[in-house]
Amino acid sequence: MSKADAATTAARASASVDREFAAPVTQDGLGVAVAGQLGPSGVDRPERLPGSGIGGPAGEGTALPASSGGRRRLVDRRWFRIVGGALIPVALLVAWQLVSTSGLVPVSMLPTPEMVWLAAVDLAERGLLGLYVAISTQRVFLGFAFGAALGLAFGAVVGLSKLGDILLAPTLGAIRAVPSLAWVPLLILWFKIGEDSKVILIAIGAFFPVYTIVAAALRHVDRQLLEAGRAFGLRGLSLFTTVQLPAVVPSVISALRLALAQAWLFLVAAELIASSMGLGFLLVDSGNNGRIDRIFLAIILLAVLGKLTDSLVGLFERWAVRRWA
Partner 1 sequence: MTTSSAGNEPTASAVARAAGDVVTAAPISFHGVGRAFGTGDSVRPVLRDIDLDVAAGEIVAILGPSGCGKSTLLRIAGGLDRPSDGVVAIDGSVVAPFDARSAVGFQEPRLLPWRTIAGNIALGLPRGTARDAGRAHVARLLELVGLADFAEHRPREVSGGMAQRTSLARALARNPAVLLLDEPFGALDALTRLKMQDLLLDVHAAEPTTVLLVTHDVDEALQLADRVILLGNDGDRPGARIQHTVVVPGTRPRDRGSAELAELRGRLLDGLGIDRHGSARGVAATTTIPHYPY
Choosing from 21, 108, 177, 232, the residue that interacts with partner 1 (CB under 8 A) is 232
Q: Which of 145, 256, 165 is nearest to 210 (CA)?
A: 256
Q: Does the protein bind partner 1 through residue 236 (CB under 8 A)?
A: no
Q: Does the protein bind partner 1 through residue 254 (CB under 8 A)?
A: no
Choosing from 15, 58, 95, 105, the residue that interacts with partner 1 (CB under 8 A) is 58
Nearer to partner 1, 24 or 170 (CB): 24
Q: Does the protein bind partner 1 through residue 324 (CB under 8 A)?
A: yes
Nearer to partner 1, 43 or 74 (CB): 43
* Choices 12-20, 44-52, 178-186, 211-219; region in contact with partner 1 by CB under 8 A: 44-52
Q: Are 171 and 154 in contact (CB under 8 A)?
A: no
How far is it, in rounded angstroms, from Cα 171 to Cα 162?
A: 15
How far is it, in rounded angstroms, from Cα 44 to Cα 65?
A: 10
Cα 151 off chain centre by? 17
Q: Does the protein bind partner 1 through residue 246 (CB under 8 A)?
A: yes
Q: Is 260 exposed, middle or buried (0-12, 13-18, 19+ CB in 10 A)?
A: buried
Q: Does the protein bind partner 1 through residue 241 (CB under 8 A)?
A: no
- Tell me how many degrees the CA angle 19-34-59 measures, rounded to the nearest 5: 50
How far is it, in rounded angstroms, from Cα 256 to Cα 158?
A: 18
* Choices 45-53, 128-136, 254-262, 306-314; region in contact with partner 1 by CB under 8 A: 45-53
Q: Does the protein bind partner 1 through residue 59 (CB under 8 A)?
A: yes
| Distance in Å, CB of 233 to partner 1, minimum | 5
Nearer to partner 1, 24 or 194 (CB): 24
How far, CA to CA in Å, does 86 sit from each of 19, 80, 92, 308? Answer: 16, 10, 10, 15
Would you tell me which residues interact with partner 1 (CB under 8 A)? 49-53, 56-62, 224-225, 227-234, 242-243, 246, 324-325
